[in-house]
Amino acid sequence: MGLFSNSIKREIRRFGQSRMLVTAAIIIPVAMTVLYVLMFWKGTVHDLPVAVYDGDKTELSRQLIRMVNSTPSAHVALQAESIEQGRQSMVQGLTNALIVIPKGLQADILAGNGGAQISAEVSGARILNSGLLKRDITTVFQAFNIGVETQMLGAKGIPASKGYAIAYPIAFEKHVLFNPYGSYAYYLLPGLLFLALVITVSLVTVYAVGSELKNGTAGEWVAAAGGSITRALAAKLAPYVLLFTLLSLFMNTLLYRFLGLPFHGQEAAILVLGNLFVILAYMAIGVILVAVSANMRFSLSVAGGLATASLSFCGLTFPTIGMYPAIAALAQLFPFTHFIDLFIEQSLRGAPPARSLGDLAAMGAFVLIMAAIVPRLKKVALNPRYYGKD
């Protein structure tokens, strides 16, 4: 225990003396966490600017414009004088949609001629914006149709309740589970926060281990642990495991306490274990890269690339079900994929804890692979020909 304690003291001392490690392991992650939280503080997108061309200029058309303006996602920012002006505003990026109300709309409706048509052109340049606007504008048009039909039936002497039943004979009731408000803070923000964390974990681990080779102190590092590479590695990683675990708990506190992220799981401990296991998995990847390559610069490049690519493969931004089977299989080789699965299962869906054991095992497998590489790390650490490399 004395050797292990002395080794940990050595690592803490090295950490405190390195501005780079303090900055990379504490200052940057905390700053990024605060910035991401502020970015997603509102959770959902509101008041996207849209243009409206009102060729009818009647009470009915003005009512429709008010209904569009009252939706959560849309804000009528431009009353276009022509259809072309409205389209140009979309081309210039000033608005996200154009609603065209043709001349004679009210007259056609009141005459009962039918064929009245309102069109909406929605920019698809940004998928998030277009999806929200299409949803809300479609809802407005449906409600507008029902309201007009009910009023026309009322003019014929049919009571409003019966008129509504005629205009809307089949009621549709929608229940959105797990994320009813469509908040991107509920699933995208945790993904970005923990992506930043695993990138930090990967790079700091590579630097902490690789700098022993670069500075030619690897022999001293192993000797301080009584010649045991296992003890030396455990002592080196232990302070960082504690540091990054505390950082993950800080992130969770912001998410669940201050941003109101729902937790439907039965055991919060499973989520905390998921945080710990993904940290250990990316630490293991960093150690494996240093042991195999014996080159800190190369290991930093690969570790950073793999950690960054984790977001693309985890299925958070694009679902794995839409990927080619070979790519979907490749995604399973990233620990972050299993962490995101665990997070969604436990936090949002409220799945039984046993459902996430496979994800924990998959992340834990990287630690076992690292254990198999430890003899190679000892060989590299005790061979002076590997010293001094970038």
Rg (CA), the chain: 29
Task: In whole angstroms, give the CA distance from residue 342 to residue 194.
Answer: 13
Q: Do 302 and 325 fall into the same domain?
A: yes
Rounded alpha-carbon distances, angstroms, from residue 109 to 58, 78, 118, 120, 151: 12, 25, 12, 19, 11
Is the residue at 295 inside a domain? yes
Is the residue at 176 inside a domain? no
Task: Give the domain range for residue 53.
Answer: 48-167
Q: Do 65 and 100 fall into the same domain?
A: yes
* CB neighbours of residue 309 within 10 Å: 13
148: pLDDT strictly greater than 90: no
Is the residue at 177 inside a domain? no
The H-or-E segment that residue 176 falls in is none
119-122/48-54 β-pairing: unpaired
Is the residue at 74 inside a domain? yes
375: pLDDT strictly greater than 90: yes
Q: Do 206 and 307 fall into the same domain?
A: yes
Residue-wise pLDDT for 112-122, tens only, equals 666 668 888 88
Reported confidence tier of residue 136, pLDDT bands at 50, 70, 90: confident
**Which whole number is the average pLDDT over 44-70?**
87
315: pLDDT strictly greater than 90: no
**Which whole number is the average pLDDT over 257-280?**
88
Q: Do 249 and 209 fall into the same domain?
A: yes
Q: Do 192 and 75 fall into the same domain?
A: no
CB half-sphere exposure, 174, CA atoms < 13 A = 5
Percent of the chain with pLDDT over 90: 44
Reported confidence tier of residue 262, pLDDT bands at 50, 70, 90: confident
**Which whole number is the average pLDDT over 326-335?**
90
Q: Do 281 and 361 fall into the same domain?
A: yes
Q: Do 313 and 229 fall into the same domain?
A: yes
Q: Do 129 and 231 fall into the same domain?
A: no
Q: Do 196 and 273 fall into the same domain?
A: yes
316: pLDDT strictly greater than 80: no
Q: Do 251 and 365 fall into the same domain?
A: yes
Reported confidence tier of residue 108, pLDDT bands at 50, 70, 90: confident
Structural domain tally of the chain? 2
Q: Do 136 and 2 fall into the same domain?
A: no
What confidence score (pLDDT) does residue 169 get?
62
